[in-house]
Amino acid sequence: MRSGTTFFRNVISSNKNILSLGPELNNLWTNTGQAPCGLVPSNPPRTADDATDYIRMQVRTYFESHFNSKNTPKQIAYRAYRKIRFGNESIIKNGRPFYLLDKETQLLNKMPYLNEIFPDAKFIVLIRNIYSYTNSLKKHLERISRGEKFIVLSPESDEHGWRFVPIQQRSTILPEEKNEYTFAEIPKYWINQNLLLLDFLREQDKSRILYIHYQDIIEELPNVLFRVGEFLCLPNINRRIRTNLVNNQTNDPLNQWKQDLTNEQIAQIEHIVKSNEQRYQFICSFIRGKTIKKN
């Protein structure tokens, strides 16, 4: 989350061999998959055992139906509109290999479950530095919690997620729970979410996983797309990128945090990093070793 996933989805799904299945499939995973995520009261983890035969069949049927309808008149008209507006869209989707793309940021505590449903899936993992991420997620939480809901972050719990509580139910939450997140919980959340993800991915076949730095997307997108093309066996992946595809609210996404965060907030992040030095360095060194550039 908040690591360029929307922009990157728009970029790579412009390829004729990649079909994006919408912004995020939170409703599918919550209702059909019985794996709550998104704007839900709680975001509990799921294991491989939770992916029952019935759930696997229902979810895979959903994906298959989108594959079968990928070139209907309605879909072609929509992609023709994007082609005219952005100049970066393939109208007809076909070819081999062919990928269905699900941009999910709410399933990090459900990866064994997801893997059980799609055991041959490939994972593209985007990692953003803790300072820039904290600034972006802080803005995001303020935006989505305005008015009707407020957020309870659980950065250190077994759930590794958050809960969205209707504003009128503030008084009904358990006494030991905070009634709002604190700023320091956001960088803690970065550490725990990344560890949770990496603990799972380290056990998987390395050919299924591609790690990408957010900074490289901003600074070296053609090189990143070359790596993606190799990873997906799609050498002609589209490199014609238009700036109006970028989904952020700043002209300097790598350094905006320096302007937005106060000295006190930066000090809080540094304190979290220092007090979690070993875990933080493990994440950084692991990702550094997995994102070596290819020319």
d(CA 213, CA 249): 19
pLDDT digits (tens, 9 = 90+) for 184-198: 888 988 998 888 888
d(CA 151, CA 141): 8
20 beta partners: 101
The beta-strand segments (E) located in the chain are 18-20, 99-101, 123-127, 149-154, 161-166, 209-213
Mean pLDDT of 158-176: 51
Residue type (1 letter), 42 = S
**pLDDT at position 175, please?**
43
User: What is the reported pTM?
Assistant: 0.85
d(CA 139, CA 247): 14
Token output for 93: 């989707």
β-bridge pairing 18-20 and 99-101: parallel
Domains of the chain: 5-290 (3.40.50)
**pLDDT at position 52, please?**
97
d(CA 6, CA 249): 13
Buried b (16+ CB within 10 A) or exposed e, 253-289: beebbeeebeeebeebbeebbeebeeebeebeebbee
**Where does the pLDDT of residue 159 fall: very low under 50, low under 70, confident under 90, or very high at 90 and above?**
low
> Above 60 in pLDDT, residue 283?
yes
Mean pLDDT of 250-275: 91
d(CA 286, CA 54): 36
Percent share of the chain, pLDDT over 90: 45
pLDDT digits (tens, 9 = 90+) for 200-254: 988 999 999 999 999 998 888 888 999 999 999 998 776 655 544 444 556 788 8
Pick the most confident of 214-228, 256-270, 280-294.
256-270
